Each structure stands twice: as structure tokens, then as C-alpha cells.
Chain A
Amino acid sequence: MNGLFDLPSDLQHSYPGLVGLHLREALIPVAAGLLLALPVAQLCVRLRWLYAPVLGLTTVLYAIPSLAFFVVLIDYTGQTETTVMIPLAVYSLVVLVPAIVDGVRSVPQETLDAATGMGLGAVRRYFQVQLPIAAPAIVAGLRVACVSSISLVSVGMLIGNQGALGNMLYTGMTYGRPRLIWLSVISTAVLAVAVDALLVLALRLLTPWMPRGGARPARKAAAR
């Protein structure tokens, strides 16, 4: 009898190998998206008129089905991991830009005034005040980006077996092996939940300054 986690050799990976591959294909795009989203969002905060067109463009990008994206990209990057990761990075960017913009804009004007008045220049203000205070909004965006990225990686099975855990699903369906199908679906879900939980935990550790277990003080709400 096959062990629960034994995989047929045509998957070319052990189970832990597939999980690692899946995480890599899902999370590198999110990281890349974050790296791009930070400056784009900052531009949108500084130049208010830029935000609406950027938001429009990102919405259009988000509306493109991932499969269509893959097909177009195959001509340029072939049947590789990169072809899977580029669309995922774009989706992350689309989710993260508004999250960061909203987060940075949620910093109370008086906090910024105080920072300016005390002699923090624009760079310090950004890194020491705006970004940390925007952290909860950014992490909220990251959670959405990570979960959708983890589920979307599986679609990569359709372009030359680049779907990591998705490949297992494909194999399972092709050879009529329900165990592989279940294993693939459940593993993907568990990965998504685990990454999400890690982000929630990280946020808690990063933001001891957030009021917990109750409504935020009314003063903050009034100040907005």
C-alpha cells in the first residue's frame, strides 16, 4: 500500500519538495509585488491625481484571467516558473497598492504635522512614521495577496507542469487517483491558512501599539 505522502515519479518531486516549490512560486511574486507597490503607492500619496488612473489600470489588470496571462507570456518566458510568477506578482501589486495608499493616508494629519514640526525630513517621516502606522493595512493587503497567490499557483499545472501542488491534482485526475486529488486540495488549503496565520501573528508582534480586544478609541475616529 502506498504511503499517504508517496508520490508517483512523474511528478519529479517528493511531497515536501512540492510544498516548498508551491510556497516559492506563490510567495516570491507577493514579495516582488510588495517591492513594486511601495514606491507606486508613495507616488499615489504624493501626487493625488495619480491615484485614480493607477487604480483604474490595476483593476483592468486584475480582471485579466490568469490563464490568458499565462498564454500570452509563454511566447516570451516559455513554460517556466517565471511565466507563473509574473501574473501572480501583478495580482499582488494590484491588491497591495490600494492597501498601502489607504494605510499611509490613514496616518492622522496631526501626527504628520508633529513629525514635520519636530524636524523629521520626508524620508524619515516615511520610514519612521507613515510606514509603521500603515503596517496593519499593508499586512491586511498581504494576507489577501498571499492566499490568492497560493491558490492561483495551481493553475500553473496547465502550462508545462508548473503548478507545484497543482501538478499533483492534475496527475491525480489523469490517472484516477483520488488520494492525490485530495492531498493536493487539502495541502493547498492548509498552506494558505498557515501562511495567513503567520501573517496575523507577525502583525501582532509588529504592532504592540494597536488597541486590542475592543473598539479603537473614539478620539482616533473623530480625528479622521
Chain B
Amino acid sequence: MIRIEAVTKRYPDGTVAVDRLSLDIPDRAITVLVGPSGCGKTTTLRMINRMVEPSEGRILIDGVDSRQQPVNTLRRSMGYVIQNAGLFQHRTIVDNIATVPRLLGWGKSKSRDRARELMERVGLDPALAGRYPYQLSGGQQQRVGVARALAADPPVLLMDEPFSAVDPVVRKGLQDELLRLQDELGKTIVFVTHDIDEAVKLGTMVAVLRTGGRLAQYAPPAELLSAPADAFVEDFLGADRGIRRLSFFPSAGLDLLTGPVVRADAGAGEITARDTGGAPWLLVTDADGRPLGWTEPGTLAAGPAGPARLLSYGRPFVAGRDSLRAALDCAVLSPTGWAVAVDEEGRVTGVVSQQAIGDAIRAAHATGRGSDGTPDGTSESVCDPAHGDRTPKAAR
């Protein structure tokens, strides 16, 4: 564990960048430092690898003062990723990634083999190995930056706004990739960002800093959203914190109706005989159970439903895996006001109305579920806050 103990940083010009900050950073989890520009995030991060020395206080790594070991040994045991990647423009991609293994005295070919392995890990085409940084896109460069930080398999990863300089689509891809990598690797990651959405999406724990380098709140993201410590944090979280908080409520408890779901080849008799549970719409699926669209019961009884006559079903949510936010989003986007639930393979498991989702939200608030997102990330009730990110392709 990394323990920051009452650390203050006063720069020579008198600026107090960090003020008596104490943080316990849990192992094998992503801890996010978030706050407005100039609040001391970079300074805090750099004190961990001693690129900045604290003026007061100390930092313990697994109980040992970080000043006990030679500074470069410390740094080589911590991957470091920055904005714009900071790649060595004069070295090939593979040699960029092999930097720390080479410093640690691994042989050239072993280092390069390891670098190639990492390129695959972070989703880079191995054909890029011999290229130079200027030949890569911003997103690819950032992936190289991550691979370079992971090359010597350090237990700790320090990331300073690594995804801030890329466009939103690429950023989302990089964030998802980081979560996936973290599932595999279980590093202790300290991640700096000024983007609260990124913090909520990635963080197991989130430390909100205010200007002057003081800690405003340190909590799991769900708790941050449900119980901001003060007006500053609430302000920083932004306007739709209620909606975003739904990301942490599971959709598993929703009552799904299967009555209004019919296969396209069903006979008229079968349809009229159905108990639709009061739903004014029927969802038509193909023979495999994948959704085709909505129709009114009367229309369907008149004859088989061609796709042209169906209303679009919007974007389904995966029941149980996606959050209530995803479910609500589906219902809001659906022309019928009903959300379609599917399983991991994209087959319909039922439908649910806005009304029913609203009831589930109220029930969830009442029992306080969702606010127990635990820092170790093992709680099943914490959903993927990036709702719908992993919707199976078949369901799109």
C-alpha cells in the first residue's frame, strides 16, 4: 500500500501546491486524484515517485519510507504515464516500450520480446513495432505510453492525465482498455484527471482535491455521488449527479415482462391469447429471440410483421450486467417508453416500462443500495458505470 502521510509541498516561490494531504492508496485498485486545474494533482503524483520531494510529511510504500531506496530504483518500480505520452521520438515503438527493461539490465532481445508482448496486450498492431512515434496517431501513442509503463511489470502505475489530449471517442476506448487491463493485471494505479466523469468511471476510490492542494473528499465513486461532503464537491460533480448515480444500481432487480414478447412467425391465435401484462405494445423478435421492433397488438393479428411496419426498439440493456442508468436510458430513448432487456448474446429476456424502472429507482434509494461500492471492487452490486459500453454487438 502507498500511504501519503500529512504531506505538504511548498515550491521555492512560496506556492503551496499540496497542503497536509493524507491518503491511503489501496493495493491492486485504481485510485483517482481529481480536481480543478492547479489543485496539486500532478505535484501529489510526482511526490510518489520523488520527481518532486515533499516539504513536510512522508510517503510510505508498503510501510517503508520512499526515501529509503535509491530514487531511480524507486522510479523503475513504478510505471509512469503522462499526457501526450512523452514518447522518445528518436526511438522505435518497440525500443520505447523496452526502455525500463533495458535500464534494469535485461538483454536486448528479451526486452524487445517483452515489448512486443505488451503491444498485443494494449491492443497495438505488432506491425507498428519498427515505426517511430511521429508515424502513430495520438491514441496509438498513448497506448505505447501505457505499454512502456507496464514493460517491467511494476506493481505500481502512476498516470497523469494520460487520456486528456485525445478525442472523446478514442478516450473512451482507452478508458475501457485500461479497465480491461486492470482486470487482468491488478496493478496499484494512481490516476490523475480533471474530468470527474473519468474519475467516476475508472476509480475504485476517488480523492477530490480543492485548490491549494487540500483533500475535499475521499470515497468510492458511488458514495461521492450519493453523499458529497460539501458544496465544493457537489458543484464539482456537476448537475446530473442523480442520473449518474444510477450507474451504481444494478438492473438485476427489475421485473421483466415476457408476455409482450412474440416471435415474428407466431400465429394470430397465439398472439391474441397472450397475457401482455397490460402492455399496449408487443415486441417482435426473430426466430433466435433477437429483437426486431415494436408493434401494436392489433396490427400483428392482421398478418406477419415485416420490419418496415415495426417501430425501432432503441438500444437494449443487458439485464443484470448493466445498471439502472442503462435501463432508464433505453426506456427514455424508446419510442414506446418501454425498455428492452437482453442477455449477453443479445436475445430478449423481457421488457420493462419507464414506470417500473422509476419504481425500482425509488426502491433502490430507499434501501440505500448502490452506495456500498467497496474499494476492493469485489462488490457485485457495483455495475459498470459506463452503461451500455459492453452491449453485445448483436444487440446494436
Q: Do A and B bind each other?
A: yes
Give chain A's interface residues, CB within 8 Å of chain B: 108, 110-111, 113-121, 124, 129, 132-133, 135, 207-211, 216-217, 219-220, 223
> Which residue of chain B lies nearest to A217 when distances are taken between CB atoms in the complex?
B134
Residues on the B chain within 8 Å of A124, using CB: 103
B396 at the interface (CB under 8 A from A): no
The one of A114, A207, A208, A219 that contacts B138, using a Cβ cutoff of 8 Å: A219
Q: A119 near B72 (CB under 8 angstroms)?
A: yes
Residues on the A chain within 8 Å of B99, using CB: 118, 120
Which applies to chain A's interface (DSSP): helix, strand, loop or mixed? helix
Q: B134 near A207 (CB under 8 angstroms)?
A: no
A132 to B132, CA, bound (A): 14
Size bracket of the B interface? 20 to 34
A70 to B92, CA, bound (A): 48
> Which residue of chain A lies nearest to B99 when distances are taken between CB atoms in the complex?
A118
B76 at the interface (CB under 8 A from A): yes
Known A-B contacts A113-B51, A223-B84; the reply to A119 vs B76 at CB < 8 A is: yes
Q: A117 near B75 (CB under 8 angstroms)?
A: yes
B87 at the interface (CB under 8 A from A): yes
> Which residue of chain B lies nearest to A121 when distances are taken between CB atoms in the complex?
B72
Q: B80 near A114 (CB under 8 angstroms)?
A: yes
The one of A113, A118, A132, A223 that contacts B100, using a Cβ cutoff of 8 Å: A118
Q: A209 near B84 (CB under 8 angstroms)?
A: no
Question: Within B58-88, which residues are at the interface with A (CB < 8 Å)?
Answer: 71-76, 80, 82-88
Q: B88 near A119 (CB under 8 angstroms)?
A: no
Residues on the B chain within 8 Å of A120, using CB: 72, 99, 103
Residues on the A chain within 8 Å of B134, using CB: 209-211, 216-217, 220
B206 at the interface (CB under 8 A from A): no
**Can you list 17 A-B contacts with CB-CB less than 8 angstroms, sorted by A residue number?**
A111-B87, A113-B51, A113-B86, A114-B85, A114-B87, A117-B82, A118-B100, A118-B149, A119-B100, A120-B99, A120-B103, A129-B88, A132-B90, A209-B89, A209-B92, A220-B89, A223-B84
A129 to B99, CA, bound (A): 11
Known A-B contacts A117-B49, A118-B103; the reply to A111 vs B83 at CB < 8 A is: no
Mark contacts of B80-120 with chain A using CB atoms, 8 A cut-off: 1 yes-contact digit, 0 otherwise: 10111111111110000001100100000000000000000
Residues on the B chain within 8 Å of A219, using CB: 84, 138
Measured CB to CB, the closest approach of chain A to B132, in angstroms, equals 4
Known A-B contacts A110-B82, A117-B51; the reply to A209 vs B73 at CB < 8 A is: no
Q: B86 near A108 (CB under 8 angstroms)?
A: yes
Known A-B contacts A119-B73, A211-B134; the reply to A113 vs B84 at CB < 8 A is: no
Measured CB to CB, the closest approach of chain B to A122, in angstroms, equals 10
B158 at the interface (CB under 8 A from A): yes
Residues on the A chain within 8 Å of B76, using CB: 118-119
> Which residue of chain A lies nearest to B78 when distances are taken between CB atoms in the complex?
A117
Residues on the A chain within 8 Å of B82, using CB: 110, 113-114, 117
A115 to B74, CA, bound (A): 14
A211 to B134, CA, bound (A): 7
> Which residue of chain B lies nearest to A207 when distances are taken between CB atoms in the complex?
B90
Q: B90 near A209 (CB under 8 angstroms)?
A: yes
A122 to B105, CA, bound (A): 18
The one of A111, A119, A209, A216 that contacts B75, using a Cβ cutoff of 8 Å: A119
Residues on the B chain within 8 Å of A132, using CB: 90
Residues on the B chain within 8 Å of A210, using CB: 134
Most buried by B among A209, A217, A223: A209
The one of A111, A118, A133, A217 that contacts B80, using a Cβ cutoff of 8 Å: A118
Residues on the A chain within 8 Å of B148, using CB: 118
Most buried by B among A118, A207, A210, A216: A118
The one of B73, B88, B158 that contacts A115, using a Cβ cutoff of 8 Å: B88
Residues on the A chain within 8 Å of B73, using CB: 119
Closest 3 CB pairs of A and B: A114-B86, A117-B80, A119-B75
A118 to B64, CA, bound (A): 20
Q: A209 near B132 (CB under 8 angstroms)?
A: yes
A124 to B73, CA, bound (A): 14
Residues on the B chain within 8 Å of A114, using CB: 80, 82, 85-88, 145
Q: A208 near B49 (CB under 8 angstroms)?
A: no
> Which residue of chain A lies nearest to B141 when distances are taken between CB atoms in the complex?
A219
A114 to B73, CA, bound (A): 15
